[in-house]
Amino acid sequence: MISIRFQFHFNFSQSKKTLIELSKNIADYLESLYDRDFVENYRKYIESYPNQYIRIDPFSDHQSLIERLKNYGIELEKTVLPFAYKVLKGSDKIGKTLEFTLGLYYVQSLSSMIPPHILNPTYNDLTLDLCAAPGSKTTQLAELMERKGTLIANEVNQQRVGSLNFNVDKMNLSCIGVMKQKGELISKTFDNFFDKILVDAPCSALGIVQKKNEVSNWWNLEQAEKIAEVQFKLLVSAIKAAKVGAEIIYSTCTLTIEENEFVLDKILKKYPVEIEEFDLPLKHVPGFTKFGEFENPKLALAKRIIPWDNDSEGFFVAKLRKKSETEPLVQSNYSKSHKIFFIHDHKFIKPYLNQLHEYFGIEKDILARFKYIQSRSDLLFVNKDWVVEENSYFIKLGLKLGVIDRKDKLNLHSDAARTFGKFATKNKIVIDSKEDLEIYLNGSTIKKELDALGQKIVEYEGMILGSAVQTKEGLKSQFPRNLRTNEILLQ
C-alpha cells in the first residue's frame, strides 16, 4: 500500500487518546439533571475511544465502495440508517483513502446524521441549513435531495466558511449556495420562503466532549445560558424564514435543558409553531417535561440521544411545523451581482458548452441539466432546478465549470471534470499505474506522450480524478490544491 504524504489536514486515527478530566461544573450539573449513575456513565464515555462511522450517498452503489475499502483493510458494518456504516476495522485509514479524498463517502458520527435524516428534504423542497459549517449535515441534505433543487447553506464564521466550502467542493455538489450572514437575520433576506429548515444550533457541546476535550475546561451554566439566548434568536429567524406548513428541525449536540427544552418552551409560547412526533431509529429518551418550576408536557415529543446508548454522540432533536404567518423583518438591500445566470441554450453560454460537447464528447442533454453563471472570466454551474436568481446573496454558488482564456476557450476545472467526466467519450485519459497516480495526486507531470496535446479528463479505476493538460513535457496534473492537504493511501 502506497501512502502519499501532504500536510496533514484531518486526523481520524485512534492511535492516541488524550485523557479528559471531567470538570466539577459539568459533573454537578449532570447529576442535578439526571443522577450520579448518569455522571459515572458519562465519565466512562468521554474517556473511551470514539467509534467511527461513514455516510455513503443513498443513491450510489454502496456495495462496490464497501468492496474497494476492503482492499485497504477497512471493514464496515451496517447500521439502522440505510446510508450509514460503522467502521469495525481500519479506523486509522478511513480518513486517508483515495475514495475519501474524492468525496465518495463522508466520515461523520451516527448521531450527527439524525437531524438531516429526520428533515428528509427532496429536490422539490426549498431547503436551508442555517448553521451549516463544517458541512457534514449540509452535504447529507444535498445527497437526500439527489444533488438537485435548491439548498442554501449559511455560516457566519469566516474560518468555518472555509471548511464548509471545502466539503461542498470535495463532495462535488452543485445544488448548494453558501451564504455568510448572521443566522438571526436570515429572514431579512428570505422571508416566508423555505419548505424545510435545519437549525443545528451552536451549543455548549456536552454531547461531544469525547472529541472536544476543551469543553470541560470552560463549561459553566452561565455560558450555556448565554448560548441559549443565541439559539432562541436563530430559531425565531428560521420560523420567520419558513413558509406556513414548513418543517423545521432543531438540534444540538449538548445535554443541557437550558439549550434544548427551555429554548423550545419559549418558542412554543411565543410563535406559531407546533412540535410534532417523528420516528427516530436510534435508542433515545423523550425530552424533559418537568424540571424545577418548568413544565411543558408537549416536549415529550422531543428526543434525547444518550451517547453510550448508541456508541455515538449525545444529541437533542425536535421537529416543528409552522402553523401561520409571522411578522416579517425589514428586508435587506443587496447590491445587484455582476454574476449572470444562463440556461444552456443562451447565446452567451452556448458556444462554450459546444466546446465541451465537441472536445470531450459530452452530450448536450447532459449539459442542459444545469444553469450557468458568469463571474468575470470564470464560469460556474448549478443544477437547473436552482430557483434563487439574485446570486449576490452568496459567497459561493454551485461548482466551477472553468475559466475563459484570452482566446475565448473554456478551460475545464477539475470540479466540472468530476461532474461531467463519466459522460465524456473523448480526450479522457485512464491512469493505469500507482506510480502515475501518485504523480497526478501530487500535482506534478506524468512523463507520458499522447497523440494530441490539450486538456484531458483523468480517470483511475473507474473514478474521475479531475483534469490535466497534455503538453510536450507530459500530462500536467490539475488536481485541486485543496485536496492535496491530506495524506492519501493508495491500495
Q: What is the four-CA torsion angle of 119, 125, 131, 134, rounded to 10 degrees?
A: 90
Quick: pLDDT tens for 224-249. 999 999 999 999 999 999 999 999 99
Provide the 10 A C-beta neighbour count for residue 274.
Answer: 12
Spatial distance between the Cα atoms of 463 and 221, rounded to a whole number of angstroms: 50
Task: State yes or no: pLDDT of 9 exceeds 50.
Answer: no
As a whole number of angstroms, the distance between CA 406 and CA 243 comes to: 46
Q: How confident is the model at residue 2 (pLDDT cuts 50, 70, 90)?
A: low
Q: Which residues are catalytic?
A: 253
pLDDT > 70? residue 7:
no
Q: What is the mean pLDDT of residues 18-47?
A: 91
**Which element (helix H / strand E) includes 235?**
helix 221-241
Question: What is the rounded distance in angstroms from the CA atom of residue 179 to the CA atom of residue 158?
Answer: 11
Beta carbons of 199 and 131 less than 8 angstroms apart = yes
| pLDDT, the chain, mean | 93
β-strand partners of 378: 375, 403
Q: How many CB atoms lie within 10 A of CB 407?
A: 5
Residue 350 to residue 339: CA distance in whole angstroms: 17
What are the chain's domains? Answer: 114-322 (3.40.50.150), 334-411 (no CATH), 427-491 (2.30.130.60)
Measured distance CA(455)–CA(453) in Å, rounded: 7
476/444 Cα distance (integer angstroms)? 6
Q: Give, for 85, the enclosing helix (H) or strand (E).
A: strand 84-89
Q: Give the Cα separation of 487 and 484 in Å (integer).
A: 8
Q: Is the pLDDT of residue 336 over 70?
A: no
pLDDT number for residue 484: 87
Residue by residue, DSSP assigns 370-390 as EEEEEETTEEEEEETT-----
The residue with greater pLDDT, 342 or 54, is: 54
Cα gap 321→243, rounded to integer Å: 10
Please answer whether residues 69 and 97 qualify as being in contact, where contact means their C-beta atoms are separated by less than 8 angstroms: yes
- Poorest-pLDDT segment among 14-18, 169-173, 225-229: 14-18
Cβ atoms of 431 and 437 within 8 Å: the answer is yes
Exposure string of 100-125, with b = 16+ CB inside 10 Å and e = fewer, is bbbbbbbbbbbbbbbbbbbbebebeb
- Please provide residue 14's backbone torsions phi and psi, each rounded to the nearest 5 degrees: -105, 20
**How large is the average pLDDT for residues 248-252?**
98
What SS3 state is found at 441?
helix
How far, in Å, CA of 76 to CA of 90, rounded?
A: 9
| DSSP code at position 392 | G
pLDDT at position 334 over 70: no
pLDDT digits (tens, 9 = 90+) for 306-323: 999 999 999 999 999 999
408 Rama sector, left if φ>0, alpha if ψ -120 to 50, beta otherwise:
left
Alpha-carbon dihedral sign for residues 63, 69, 70, 75: negative
Residues 6+ apart with CB under 8 A from 447: 473, 474
Each as own residue / partner, the long-range contacts of residues 437-440 (CB below 8 Å, 24 or more positions apart, any chain) are: 437/490, 438/2, 438/4, 438/490, 439/477, 440/465, 440/468, 440/475, 440/477, 440/479
**Among candidates 176, 184, 166, which has minimal Cα distance to 143?**
176
Q: What percent of the chain has pLDDT over 70?
A: 95
CA 311 vs. chain centroid, Å, equals 22
**Which of the residue ranges 25-34, 67-76, 185-194, 441-450 would you say has the lowest mean pLDDT?**
441-450
Report how far residue 459's alpha carbon sits from residue 98's, in angstroms, rounded to the nearest whole number: 12
